[in-house]
Amino acid sequence: MKIRTRIYMLLFLIAVIAAPIGAFGEAPADAPAHMDNNRIYIRLVEKIADNVDTVSDRVASALAANGWTVAGSFTPTLPDKCKYKTKVLIIHNEAYWQKIFEVSPNAKFVYPLKVNVFSNEGGTSISLVNPVALNRMIAPELETFSVETLKKLAGVFQGAVSGKNVATEEGTLLDGNRVSGIGGGVLEDNIVKVYTGKYKTEKLMSSVIKQMHYTIGRNNKGFSLVYTIDMRDKGIMFFGITKKELEKTAFTITSENRLTNRNSCPGIDHANAFPMEVVVDATGKSVKVETLRVMFRMKAYFGDTGEMAFVKHYLMPGHIEDEIVYITYPDLIQQ
């Protein structure tokens, strides 16, 4: 076992023993059940009669007509007994990106936005990773812009399909710019530096991107590349990666406290936690490859799963993080 993992284990167990009830996942029982855009997901349409594929196609067309590109889509792997379906759309809008990035360089860790089209016992629903909650983690001055973006996207989705229009916040309750509980904290303290070049040139960035494609494509850890967003002319490129085994495990864990006879996999409403991003950033003085710490991501996207789930699976984040670094490190010899 790696030294870093053993240290994480020790610190985690000490913190678990010391943590008050409610420190993990949801706030205490007397906290407000609904707050203003403080949850990581927001459901915008539900009870749609059409199936997931039909709804996904209509959403993609509506997004394209409103300036958004579907950079990639995929069907996550669900628990074995799940009879429902989900499809995740990764959406890109360069004007939106430029706005949040000019306010904070950490915008690369809350981008891109992801749409979850999923079915359950009530029909098909459309959910979005909440841009207001995400952008609060990097810059409070983005609040008005984020709310306007959310309203516009809600209008796009709600105009594309026939269902019940809602604005239901779901998932982890965030505390402004902070993810509460063990493994949480503020975003800027949870950045993993996979690689940093000794100098910055266009040639080096191209080499890093080429090597990233190669190392991800040949990996033997079960990860696959879902999408890329190539803005290398602006010094930035996104790689979205995921792993079937991890998806299945995450949805199983987050379903445990919500299982019913009619719905064997309620955790698929968290499907747009995936894929995970690794970013090539040459906007500063060097070429960097970075990602978010996996425990922090899990706390942000699956924190509502509950305290015991994190205790039972406390080794998993460190293991996954080691794998991500391993499969994305560009093996370069710099002259």
d(CA 293, CA 183) in angstroms, rounded, equals: 9
Q: What is the pLDDT of residue 275?
A: 98
Q: Which CATH number fits domain 3-26+35-328: 3.30.310.70, 3.40.190.10, 3.40.50.2300, 3.40.50.2000?
A: 3.30.310.70
Q: What is residue 265's three-state secondary structure?
A: coil
The confidence band for 6, taking pLDDT boundaries of 50, 70 and 90, is very low
d(CA 254, CA 12) in angstroms, rounded, equals: 20
Weakest-pLDDT range from 190-199, 307-316, 319-328: 307-316
In the chain, where the domains are located = 3-26+35-328
pTM above 0.75, yes or no: yes
Task: Name the percent of the chain lying above pLDDT 70.
Answer: 87
Smallest CA-to-CA distance from 297 within 319, 281, 277 is with 277
pLDDT higher than threshold 90 for residue 12: no
Q: What is the pLDDT of residue 173?
A: 92
pLDDT higher than threshold 60 for residue 116: yes
Q: Distance from CA of residue 95 to its chain's centroid?
A: 20
Mean pLDDT, residues 190-196 taken together: 97
pLDDT higher than threshold 90 for residue 141: yes
Q: What is the pLDDT of residue 101?
A: 98
d(CA 204, CA 287) in angstroms, rounded, equals: 7
> 296 CB contacts (<8 Å, ≥6 apart)?
179, 183, 184, 185, 187, 190
Residue pLDDT, tens place only, 194-235 = 999 988 999 999 999 999 999 999 999 999 999 999 999 999
Burial class (CB in 10 A: 0-12, 13-18, 19+), 332: middle
d(CA 17, CA 281) in angstroms, rounded, equals: 39
Residue pLDDT, tens place only, 236-289 = 999 999 999 999 999 999 988 888 888 889 999 999 999 999 999 999 999 999
In the chain, DSSP assigns E strands to: 39-48, 69-74, 86-92, 113-120, 123-129, 164-173, 178-179, 185-186, 191-196, 223-231, 236-243, 276-281, 288-292
Q: Containing H/E element for 85?
A: none
Mean pLDDT, residues 36-47 taken together: 96
The confidence band for 310, taking pLDDT boundaries of 50, 70 and 90, is low
d(CA 151, CA 167) in angstroms, rounded, equals: 10
The confidence band for 28, taking pLDDT boundaries of 50, 70 and 90, is very low
**Mean pLDDT across the chain, nearest whole number?**
89
Q: How many CA atoms lie within 13 A of 140 on its CB side?
A: 4
**Phi, psi at 277, each rounded to 5°:** -100, 140
Higher pLDDT, 69 or 260: 69
Q: What is the pLDDT of residue 281?
A: 98
Q: What is the pLDDT of residue 15?
A: 43
Determine the length of the chain: 335
> Under a CB-based contact definition with an 8 Å cutoff, are residues 148 and 154 in contact?
no
Q: What is the pLDDT of residue 115?
A: 98
The confidence band for 307, taking pLDDT boundaries of 50, 70 and 90, is low
Q: What is the pLDDT of residue 328?
A: 97
The confidence band for 333, taking pLDDT boundaries of 50, 70 and 90, is low
The confidence band for 331, taking pLDDT boundaries of 50, 70 and 90, is confident
pLDDT higher than threshold 70 for residue 4: no
Mean pLDDT, residues 132-141 taken together: 97
